[in-house]
């Protein structure tokens, strides 16, 4: 009887390990939103709302915060707990993610893995952090707007 329970447990552990090992985890990407007040700096952005959600133009990239995505207001002192990414590091992080997950991507997508992993929405959980006053910030979960997020 104990041998059967042990065998069932062993099979279960093998199955759980195999299923979890196939999961391709996304990296978190935190971007600090600084409003562009007519300056030419591409790291500064614009923000506007429409019926689709809140749109951000930042680093010459476009992001959208849909109503279904998370948004949270936090104390500004928590800003230091987020590892912020600058414009130059977005592509570096994407390349590192692809290299780190190359075997899993090949196994999941076969020869098409490069095409299916080219989109940042499949690589990153992306958040934009905006300071709203001297004590608070809002963290928006966003999607890269040019990657099929608007229909």
- Both tokens of 115, joined, read 């095409």
The answer to whether position 11 is within a domain reads: no
User: Left, alpha or beta for 60 (phi > 0: left; psi -120 to 50: alpha)?
Assistant: left
Distance of CA 149 to the CA centre of its chain: 13
Q: Choose between 46 and 43: higher pLDDT.
A: 46
pLDDT tens digits, one per residue of 58-114: 888 889 999 899 999 999 999 999 999 988 898 899 989 989 988 888 888 776 666
The answer to whether position 14 is within a domain reads: no
Q: What is the tally of structural domains in the chain?
A: 1
Place of tokens 């075997």: 103
Q: Choose between 21 and 27: higher pLDDT.
A: 27
> What sign does the dihedral 132-134-138-139 (CA atoms) show?
positive
Domain membership of residue 111 as a residue range: 25-144
The answer to whether position 5 is within a domain reads: no
Percentage with pLDDT > 70 across the chain: 71
The answer to whether position 13 is within a domain reads: no
- Both tokens of 79, joined, read 């800003």
């Amino acid at each position: 009887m104990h041998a059967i329970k042990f065998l069932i447990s062993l099979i279960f552990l093998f199955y759980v390990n195999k299923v979890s090992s196939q999961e391709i985890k996304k990296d978190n990407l935190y971007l600090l939103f600084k409003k562009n007040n007519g300056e030419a700096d591409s790291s500064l952005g614009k923000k506007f709302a429409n019926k689709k959600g809140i749109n951000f133009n930042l680093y010459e990239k476009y992001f959208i915060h849909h109503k279904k995505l998370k948004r949270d207001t936090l104390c500004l002192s928590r800003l230091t707990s987020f590892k912020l990414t600058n414009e130059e590091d977005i592509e570096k992080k994407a390349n590192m993610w692809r290299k780190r997950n190359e075997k899993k991507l090949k196994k999941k997508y076969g020869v098409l893995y490069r095409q299916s992993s080219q989109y940042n929405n499949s690589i990153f959980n992306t958040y934009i952090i905006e300071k709203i006053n001297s004590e608070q910030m809002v963290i928006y979960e966003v999607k890269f707007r040019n990657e099929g997020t608007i229909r």
